[in-house]
Amino acid sequence: MDTTRCEAAEGCTAPAVVKILAPSGTETPACDVHGAHLLAATCNGKVYPLPGEHDGYATAVWYGAQAIKQGD
């Protein structure tokens, strides 16, 4: 099992389940919560699942980012 930790927020110890890709090419492994916030703050960013047992997280992060952008 992958033990990559979330790098989207300082001090987060949650396991990373997605990778946020910024238009500049920067890749940030993130947990579901911080991944949604980072994706919402990144103009034209993309989200990809990390290898392993992370099915569905990329979709959940994308929907979470859309809700954050809309203020829900």
Cβ count near 1 (within 10 Å):
5
Pick the closest to residue 35 from 19, 50, 52, 51 (CA basis).
19
Q: Does the pLDDT value for residue 12 go beyond 80? A: yes
What's the distance, Cα to Cα, between the start and end of the chain in Å? Answer: 34
Q: Does the pLDDT value for residue 1 go beyond 80? A: no
- Calculate what percentage of the chain has a pLDDT beyond 90: 85
For the whole model, what pTM was predicted? 0.89
33-56: per-residue pLDDT in tens?
999 999 999 999 999 999 887 889
Q: Does the pLDDT value for residue 64 go beyond 80? A: yes
Residue type, 35: G
Q: Does the pLDDT value for residue 8 go beyond 90? A: yes
Distance CA 18, CA 48 (A): 6
